[in-house]
Amino acid sequence: MNIALLGYGRMGKEIEKIALSREHTIVHKIQGNITTYDFTNVDVAIDFSIPTAAFENITHCIQQQIPVISGTTGWLEKYDEVVALCEEKNGTFIYASNFSLGVNIFFEMNSYLAKMMSQLEDYNVTIEEIHHTKKLDAPSGTAITLAEGIMQHSNYNHWKLDKAENDDEIPITAKRIPEVPGTHEITYTSAIDSISIKHEAHNRQGFALGAVVAAEWIQGKTGVFSMKDVLNI
């Protein structure tokens, strides 16, 4: 595949390594103003840029009929607009707050646990995420996806950064510690005990591999997909 990297920071560089090891070619490493690049020979664009650039990057590719994989977090208020454009243009798009296989298994565990806990009123849930100090957004996209998974199966209706103010809010704590690639923990606490599940990334390889696998999987397909589709879980 000929890949255009939209964003060539920590993730862009990690994706390049994995893509080259799987015999793909990087045709562009785009760090700004996407409109100046020629997409004629591009099979797929992989966007790991910054929250303020993701929407323009993604919509530009959809307009040019280039399939897009996006892992950028912090721009999701415009997700529905991207879906609408994709449908209008018969385009191809995958967003995932987290592309790693481990976290996608963890998402399933989170839903299963939320279902079991939904009848147990003595327990309150909290989410904690820890990331490196260069991260621009808080809470992490993964923490938001985890909160959404809990809300689907419980009486919680919102998430709230730091302290919850109402009973139907899931509090999310975001900690920033140098060099941490990404840790997420969900804890249910009662007066009697606590139950926790945790995912800890040791490096960025899992995120990058998942994004490249998604780019390979999406070839020849049209529509809006998720990592659940890619991994068939």
Ligand X SMILES: O=C(O)C1=N[C@H](C(=O)O)C[C@H](O)C1
Ligand Y SMILES: NC(=O)C1=CN([C@@H]2O[C@H](COP(=O)(O)OP(=O)(O)OC[C@H]3O[C@@H](n4cnc5c(N)ncnc54)[C@H](OP(=O)(O)O)[C@@H]3O)[C@@H](O)[C@H]2O)C=CC1
Query: Which lies closer to ligand Y via its Cβ, residue 102 or residue 189?
Result: 102
- Is 140 a residue that touches ligand X (CB under 6 A)? yes
- Is 110 a residue that touches ligand X (CB under 6 A)? no
Residues 6+ apart with CB under 8 A from 84: none
Indicate the pairing of strand 183-189 with strand 194-200: antiparallel
CA distance 93 to 37: 20
**Least distance from ligand Y to the Cβ atom of residue 137, Å:** 6
- Is 49 a residue that touches ligand X (CB under 6 A)? no
**Residues, the chain:** 233
Active site residue 198: no
Any alpha helices (H) in 22-100, and if so which ranges?
Answer: 51-63, 79-89
Query: Which lies closer to ligand X via its Cβ, residue 141 or residue 149?
Result: 141
The piece of 23-31, 106-114, 136-144, 190-198 that touches ligand X (CB under 6 A) is 136-144
Burial class from Cβ neighbours inside 10 Å (0-12, 13-18, 19+) for residue 167 reads exposed
- Is 10 a residue that touches ligand Y (CB under 6 A)? yes
| 17 annotated ligand-binding residue | no
- Is 98 a residue that touches ligand X (CB under 6 A)? yes
Active site residue 199: no
Instruction: List active site positions.
Output: 131, 135
